[in-house]
A and B are shown apart, each in its own frame.
Chain A
Amino acid sequence: MKALKLAVFVLFAVACAKEGNNSSTASSTSSSSGSVDLTGAGATFPYPLYSKWFDEYAKLTGVKINYQSIGSGGGIRQLSEGTVDFGASDSPMSDAELAKAKFGPILHIPTVLGAVVITYNVPALSAPLNLTAPVIADIFAGKITKWNDARIASLNPGVSLPSSDILVVHRSDGSGTTYIFTDYLTAAAPSWKAIGKGKEVSWPAGLGAKGNEGVAGQVKQTPGAIGYVELAYAKQNKLPIAAVKNKAGKFVVASVPAVTAAAAGVAKTLPANTDFRISVVDAPGPDAYPISSFTWILVYQHQRDSVKGKKLVDFLNWALTYGEPEAPTLDYAPLPSEMTPKVKAKVATIDFAGAK
């Protein structure tokens, strides 16, 4: 009797646990058909801009979009499972990730561009430090360890550099920022190829700090430190940033126009049927800032719900037309104008064939 009672209770408890589990996932999807019209999840980097867009779009059309900035990886996972209507990512999905998506092909819709800047704490410096990809790579690989190393000095003639140690600070959490930075080093510095690119890599040197604010905080506090953060974060916090030599041989300080210029250089050479999984690091063009990247909204090509699908398409078209000009106010770089029609053409290929 006692044992039976126990067994019943355990079953009940397990059932409750399961029930709770189901209802929590159910509520997140059911809410999308209630007061919220579309749900999305993904990258944290474009979140400030996206939330501004969603806000304005809701005021204009009444269509509410709920976006959770849980990180690109989480966004890709949720979209693959079909628990959100769209995802967002700072790095393009790999072929393996695309193959795992449960509801057919996924389109990459570039929205804006971001850039990664090198910030440092060398109190003696007044002008921006000049750096090149091979030198950045060797600093972050721990091969250049002193600020007055001959290779840094030769890029900065006339600047008196201290003889102190360089402390490398990188992101400890998986991040699109790290992806863009390592994508650039892999593309532009042969010595980095062994380490490779990714949202997290096996760093040979330095400290890991969590988030842009972690890296910036550590760099600010430690004389001799160097790190990388997003352009928007650096600008809003007025961090010192380095000028980086681009493919055309010019030292460029990151700015919104310089980032758009990088995309423009690449956009010219885009094939007509591109899937927009393109990298713009180390882009050609005299004004291009080389550590730049698109950020993407990810959507299924064959929408399963024609009502939601149409809302999503409408929103994307609105964002590409009216949202883009607002990007610079939040330090994001808009798409180059010659690229927008191509992206809109891609949005037009979304159909509702998945609908039941």
Chain B
Amino acid sequence: MTAVPAQAASTDRRRLKVHETAIGDRIYEIVTTFCALVVPALVIAIAITIFAGAWPAFSKLGLSIVTSSDWDVNAGKFGAAPAIFGTLVSSAVALIIATPLAIGVAIFLSEFSPTWLRQPIGFLVDLLAAVPSVVYGLWGIFVLVPMLREHVMPFLRDTLHLGATPFFSGPAYGPSMLAAGVILAIMALPYISSVSREVLLAVPRSQREAALALGATRWEMIRDAVVPYAKSGIIGGIMLGLGRALGETMAVTMVIGNRPEISASLFAPGYTMASLIANQFSEATSDLHLSALTAVGAILFVITLIVNAVARWLVWQVSRDRAV
């Protein structure tokens, strides 16, 4: 009974003491809060600027900027549908190529690789993310595009007879949606594989041992115990890679062919929203042209937001499934 007030008093004193020395904590709190708020404030400021700049185009052109394929500056027509299509398709192609490869790399590094090999391979894969995109573009022009034109495209079209499908038909010039997709896949790959590798390595040992103890083979252990555990993180990595692919400008501009046309064939040249802005912004002088380019930026902004929202939702879905 007597001990209680004494204890209370001592904790009081301790709290007091904490409070006295907490000025450092307060500064720390203020600084970190400030840092945390700068980012959302920046995003909001960017969004406001973009949408304000895009408003004249949206009000004058209406939905046609999204639905029309006719981009003719001289005639004052600004239809960005091919660019929107190109952004989505090239990013999708990139993910289709990059995801299995990246997850394969991640699984090898976390499950099969000898420890001495893990570091160098991981380092090399991460290094892909450090290469400037203009270097990818140059490599694309001088190596990838000629290779696609002379070997890969004829192989896909004629040897595999995929030319019968609309997706691999038509003349093989080289610069194409396929070239853009491949370049983007290489650029998105390190993001996906790095994140996946880290989450796979974070899967508790007990998870693996439990699976093995139940008589699972190594493959079954990875498939049934490790990957499901890491699924939300892997999806997060894929979405990070997708974000990279959606916004990439320079390398894509250099290999996609920049033709504002919607074509089913991956061999046909295309256009992306980021390329459109990069190509035309510096020489745009009319108000509507500038506003239309800003509007394309606004649409890209919204698409990226939607992708991020979907990613959050997916991660949330997956982690909820696991909790149940």
Contacts and interface: CB of A to CB of B under 8 A. Distances in A.
Q: Which of A13, A77, A221 has the most CB of B within 10 A?
A: A13
Contacts of A27: none
Interface stretch (B7-15, B30-38, B56-64, B303-311): B30-38
Interface in B147-166: 149
A210 B279 contact: yes
A207 B282 contact: no
Contact of B282 (A12, A71, A97, A201): A71
A175 B282 CA distance: 9
A56 B266 CA distance: 51
A104 interface: no
A82 interface: no
B135 interface: no
Nearest to A16: B38
A10 interface: yes
Interface residues of A, number: 44
A252 to B, nearest CB: 28
Contacts of A96: 286
B73 A200 contact: yes
Contacts of A71: 282-283
Contact of B258 (A13, A17, A76, A210): A210
Interface stretch (A146-154, A166-174, A281-289, A297-305): A166-174
Contacts of A6: 37
B3 interface: no
A121 interface: no
Contacts, number: 112
Contacts of B74: 196-198, 201-202
A222 B149 contact: yes
B279 A12 contact: no
Nearest to B253: A210
Q: Which of A71, A175, A200 has the most CB of B within 10 A?
A: A200
A210 B45 contact: no
B279 A199 contact: no
Contact of B71 (A72, A202, A217): A202
A207 B280 contact: no
B72 interface: yes
B173 interface: yes
A70 interface: yes
Given A17-B45, A200-B280, A209-B258, A12 B34 contact: yes
A10 B280 CA distance: 34
A202 B75 contact: yes
Given A14-B41, A207-B259, A73 B284 contact: yes
B86 interface: no
A14 B283 CA distance: 30
Given A208-B257, A221-B174, A10 B282 contact: no
A221 B174 CA distance: 10
B282 A174 contact: yes
B171 interface: yes
A208 B33 CA distance: 47
In the A-B complex, list the 8 residue pairs whose CB atoms are closest, starting with the nearest.
A174-B283, A208-B258, A172-B258, A71-B282, A73-B283, A202-B72, A13-B41, A173-B279
Given A175-B283, A209-B175, A214-B254, 11 more contacts: A6-B37, A13-B34, A71-B283, A73-B285, A173-B279, A173-B280, A174-B282, A174-B284, A207-B269, A208-B279, A214-B141
Interface of A: 5-6, 9-10, 12-14, 16-17, 70-74, 76-77, 94, 96-97, 165, 167, 172-176, 196-203, 206-210, 214, 217-218, 221-222
11 contacts: A9-B37, A174-B280, A198-B74, A202-B72, A202-B73, A207-B175, A207-B259, A208-B257, A209-B257, A217-B142, A218-B141
